Amino acid sequence: MAKVLVLRTAGVNCDEETAHAFRLAGGEVSVLHVGSLLRGEERLEEFDVLAIPGGFSYGDDLGAGTVRANQLRTRLAGDLHDFVDEGKLVIGICNGFQVLVRLGILPGWEGDKVASLIENVSGKFEDRWIDLRVETDQCPFLDCKGEHGAPCPRYLRAPVAHREGRFFLRDPDLLERLRDNGQIALTYRQGSGDDDPEPAAAGGAYPANPNGSVLDISGICNEKGNVLGLMPHPERFVHRLQGPSWTRNPPGASESALETLSSAGDGFSIFSGAVGFVNDRADKIR
């Protein structure tokens, strides 16, 4: 069974939702304060998946994710890099994405900090449901298989809730590297479903692109694909009832109303993908 660590700190407010999502996916989940790692009471190497959940760590007083990133850099940098180098999975959601970028773990180029998540173009906190398209096939979080081997949705819906979510690269030329490497994991879209929705817009059309991120980027991964950072909150849409339009989506011909209401939301595929990947890898080792 995949062992998942959900790492919480002061100000984090999505740890229990993230843990719930991984448990639904079949993971063995521990929600631990970062202090337990700093004091050596727990060791990162004992886990298969590290989740850095969203919220406002340490009040974001020095910028979103800054204090948490500095804490991890000064005390746990070696353990984190070993964890990633071994091919273990890491996901950073919203504030967690901001932490991974500040640490240089994403995009993961020689450990350099080449990207930032800066203030939304709107200049305000953005909180709404958005549409996403999966852009890569090299990330286990996004490459899961559903029931009977059916592929997970190429298009997803999830809520966003952030003020500093605008993805920005220090050097615009690095966008080409990000794209060529297949590291753009998710983009904001206009509409959803199988009709291949349009990009939000080249310049980041508001409100489909809620923050003005370049190339409508809502999530990236490292070159290996085992580290994913994203601004939307998939842990807030693991049950269909959590979606805003569930009352407008009648059950299918072979599906009862009760089955429809209890079925998974789009975000669940991200967590089941990770757990499935770890379990498959363990089976191959055996």
**Whether 135 is catalytic:** no
Report how far residue 57's alpha carbon sits from residue 34's, in angstroms, rounded to the nearest whole number: 11
Cβ atoms of 44 and 79 closer than 8 Å: yes
Residues in contact with 169: Cβ distance below 8 Å, sequence separation at least 6, in sequence order: 114, 115, 175, 178, 214
Q: How distant is the alpha carbon of residue 121 from its chain centre?
A: 21
**Whether 94 is catalytic:** yes
Cβ atoms of 41 and 223 closer than 8 Å: no
Residue 120 is inside which H or E element, if any?
none
Q: What does the block give as tokens for 17?
A: 């939702």
Strand, coil or helix: what is 271? helix
Cβ atoms of 97 and 105 closer than 8 Å: no
Please return the burial class of 89, using the count of CB atoms within 10 Å of its CB with bins 0-12, 13-18 and 19+: buried
Count the Cβ atoms, other than its own, within 10 Å of residue 16: 14
Beta strand ranges found along the chain (DSSP E): 3-8, 28-33, 49-52, 89-93, 115-118, 126-134, 155-162, 166-169, 184-190, 198-199, 217-221, 227-230
Catalytic residue (one of 42, 126, 135, 233): 233
State the DSSP code for 151.
B
Catalytic residue (one of 14, 42, 94, 164): 94
Which residue matches tokens 């760590």? 57
Which residue matches tokens 């993908």? 273
Cβ atoms of 169 and 177 closer than 8 Å: no
**Whether 259 is catalytic:** no
Radius of gyration from C-alpha coordinates of the chain: 18
Catalytic residues, which ones? Answer: 94, 233, 235
